[in-house]
């Protein structure tokens, strides 16, 4: 899964638009985050290659959402219920992109969901100085963009994994290796009580403070205290 996180008018929607044009609008669906929790909420994903969730809002208590996102991103063979139709569908091969102004936060005791995200930050806003003709200009450049993407795909296949700049690594959720079930979402943060609810934003702040050699404060939230492994 890919999460485009940044300010308004920073280009997140434009990138999603170009991506949709490259793979074909008929292969793209734009579900709302809340709809994915519903019984028939995955029906629109059947047969699609890309799901773009615009203006995604993340609720830590979203029941069932994490399980469904993990199953889809892991390409597990899940049966998708269809309203009024007995036959079930499948969403294997689907890629999920989320567009949001905030960092995702989910309820996940194992922290697995954090490993499924490629987080891309957008720090510059073009609010009140938008290029209203930009999408038209980019549509004329689609052949060149496709060639550029194919070249990137070749490098990815040769490497076998995505790589990011060191600057982006400081903004990522946990990465690089598996975590045990009693660990949090950041490599250096552990839990000392049951209760899996915490936001990635808070944990990333802990991670950045430790990278600077500081001793992060202890936080208490809804009966669940997080502490760093240095404590």
Q: What tens digit of pLDDT does each residue of 41-58 get?
A: 899 999 999 999 988 776
Model pLDDT for residues 95-128, shown as the tens digit of each residue: 999 999 988 777 777 778 878 888 899 999 999 9
Residue 182 belongs to some domain of the structure = no
Strands (DSSP E) contained in the chain are 2-6, 28-29, 50-53, 80-82, 85-89, 95-100, 118-122, 189-191, 219-221, 224-228
First-residue to last-residue Cα distance in the chain: 33
- Please tell me the number of Cα atoms within 13 Å of 210 on its side-chain side: 18
Q: Are residues 158 and 220 in the same domain?
A: no
Residue 178 belongs to some domain of the structure = no
Residue 106 belongs to some domain of the structure = yes
Q: Are residues 213 and 119 in the same domain?
A: no
Q: Are residues 132 and 223 in the same domain?
A: no
Residue 184 belongs to some domain of the structure = no
Please, is 86 exposed, middle or buried when counting C-beta atoms within 10 Å of its C-beta (0-12, 13-18, 19+)? exposed
pTM: 0.66
Q: Are residues 135 and 202 in the same domain?
A: no
Residue 169 belongs to some domain of the structure = no
Comparing C-alpha atoms, which of 196, 133, 173, 186 is closest to residue 5? 173
Q: Are residues 51 and 146 in the same domain?
A: yes
> Which residue stretches of the chain have pLDDT < 70?
58-63, 164-231
Residue 158 belongs to some domain of the structure = yes
So what's the pLDDT on residue 191? 37
Domain finish residue from 163, 178, 212: 163
Model pLDDT for residues 79-94, shown as the tens digit of each residue: 888 888 877 888 889 9
For the chain, give the mean pLDDT. Answer: 75
Domain of 13 in residue numbering reads as 2-163
Comparing C-alpha atoms, which of 216, 219, 220, 221 is closest to residue 230? 216
Q: Which two tokens stand for residue 134?
A: 């930009």
Q: What CATH number has the domain bearing residue 30? A: 3.40.50.300
Cα 63 from chain centroid? 17
Domain finish residue from 163, 179, 197: 163
Residue 50 belongs to some domain of the structure = yes
Q: Are residues 215 and 136 in the same domain?
A: no
Alpha carbons 7 and 118: distance in angstroms, whole number: 18
Q: Are residues 109 and 204 in the same domain?
A: no
Domain finish residue from 163, 181, 206: 163
Alpha carbons 217 and 7: distance in angstroms, whole number: 28
Q: Are residues 137 and 48 in the same domain?
A: yes
Domain count, the chain: 2
Q: Are residues 159 and 210 in the same domain?
A: no
Residue 106 burial (CB count, 10 A): 25
Q: Are residues 54 and 155 in the same domain?
A: yes
Q: Which two tokens stand for residue 191?
A: 């839990």
């Amino acid at each position: 899964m890919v999460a485009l996180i940044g300010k308004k008018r920073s280009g997140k929607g434009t990138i999603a638009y170009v991506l949709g044009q490259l793979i074909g609008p008929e292969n793209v669906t734009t579900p709302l985050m809340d709809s994915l929790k519903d019984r028939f909420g995955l029906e629109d994903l059947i047969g699609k290659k890309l799901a773009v969730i615009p203006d995604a809002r993340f609720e830590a208590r979203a029941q069932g959402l994490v399980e469904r996102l993990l199953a889809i991103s892991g390409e597990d063979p899940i049966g998708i219920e269809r309203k009024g139709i007995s036959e079930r569908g499948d969403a294997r091969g689907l890629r999920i992109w989320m567009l949001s102004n905030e960092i995702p936060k989910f309820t996940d005791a194992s922290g697995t969901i954090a490993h499924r995200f490629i987080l891309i930050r957008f720090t510059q806003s073009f609010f009140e100085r938008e290029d209203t003709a930009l999408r038209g200009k980019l549509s004329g450049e689609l052949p060149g963009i496709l060639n550029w993407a194919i070249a990137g795909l070749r490098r990815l296949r040769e490497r076998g994994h995505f790589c990011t700049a060191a600057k982006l690594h400081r903004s990522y959720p946990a990465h690089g290796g598996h975590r045990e079930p009693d660990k949090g979402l950041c490599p250096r943060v552990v839990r000392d009580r049951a209760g899996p609810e915490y936001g990635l934003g808070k944990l990333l702040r802990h991670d950045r403070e430790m990278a600077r050699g500081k001793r992060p404060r202890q936080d208490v939230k809804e009966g669940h205290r997080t502490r760093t492994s240095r404590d």
